[in-house]
Amino acid sequence: MANGGPEIEQLILLLARLPGLGPRSARRAVLQLIKKKEQLMIPLSAALDRAVAAVTVCETCGNVDTRSPCHICADPRRDNGLLIVVEDVADLWALERAGVGAVKYHVLGGVLSPLDGVGPDDLSIDALLRRGPEFSEIVLAVNATVEGQTTAHYITDRLAPSGVKITRLAHGVPVGGELDYLDEGTLSQALKARTAL
């Protein structure tokens, strides 16, 4: 039976689909929203409305922002020195939080995974091949998983004819670990000690 009517039930169902929230925590979240209607529910509703209207994907790098090119691609203090290639936007955000400097990014949108039917055409690899050679160095900051490393090898092979310098993050990223869960010091160190591929 619906708790408190269809509007509330619908809100619980949708919140339960967010990562980190199950049905039980979604119910608690909805009660918290209702309890703090003025301070939390109405502002969240307005913030979502604004985000729905404003959010877009950067056509240059794949970052999520409210404009394209995004504020990173458009930042005049960032030159074409380092291009950091990441699997997804969460990794880009993690590196930005680590304060890795005046770099630019390229979001692949995933990793090669033949078993899941993900091939080169499903990722933003062609765009990387066009864009990458404009930079002095490309850092392949993919996750230390089998698929991540397979993807790194594939990109290295495809970029080799251009002669651009390609590096990877230093070891220090735990094997099998995901960038987004690392502390910012580790990420920063791993970038400083990056090695040539």
Residue 162 contacts which entry, its own copies, Zn ion, none (Cβ below 5-8 A, type-dependent) = none
The reply on whether position 147 binds its own copies by CB under 8 A is no
Interface with its own copies, residue 59, by CB under 8 A: no
Q: Contacting Zn ion (CB under 5 A), which of 27, 60, 87, 166?
A: 60
Nearer to Zn ion, 92 or 140 (CB): 92
Pick 24 or 153: Cβ nearer its own copies: 24
Please report whether residue 188 would count as binding Zn ion according to CB under 5 A.
no
58 binds Zn ion (CB under 5 A): yes
Query: Parallel, antiparallel, or unpaired: how do β-strands 56-57 and 82-86 relate?
Result: unpaired
Selection from 100, 123, 114, 113 nearest residue 179 by Cα: 100
Helix (H) or strand (E) holding 167: strand 165-168
The answer to whether 86 and 109 are in contact (CB under 8 A) is no
- Classify the phi-psi angles of 75: left when phi > 0, otherwise alpha if psi is within -120 to 50, otherwise beta: beta
Examine residue 126 and tell whether it contacts its own copies (CB under 8 A): no
Q: How far apart are the first and last CA of the chain?
A: 59
In angstroms, rounded to a whole number, what is the distance separating the alpha carbons of residues 123 and 130? 14
Determine which residue in the list 73, 85, 86, 89 makes contact with its own copies, applying CB under 8 A: 89
Burial of 83 (0-12, 13-18, 19+ CB in 10 A): buried
For its own copies, which residue of 62, 84, 88, 152 counts as binding (CB under 8 A)?
A: 88
Select the binding partner of residue 91 from Zn ion, its own copies, none (C-beta < 5 to 8 A, by kind). Answer: none
Instruction: Give the span between the Cα atoms of 52 and 102, in whole angstroms.
Output: 29
DSSP SS3 for 28 = helix
Among 25, 80, 136, 162, binds its own copies (CB under 8 A): 25
Residues that bind Zn ion (CB under 5 A): 58, 60-61, 63, 69-70, 73
Residues that bind its own copies (CB under 8 A): 1, 3-8, 10-11, 14-15, 17-21, 24-25, 27-34, 37, 40-45, 47-52, 54-55, 63-67, 70-71, 88-90, 93, 96-97, 180-181
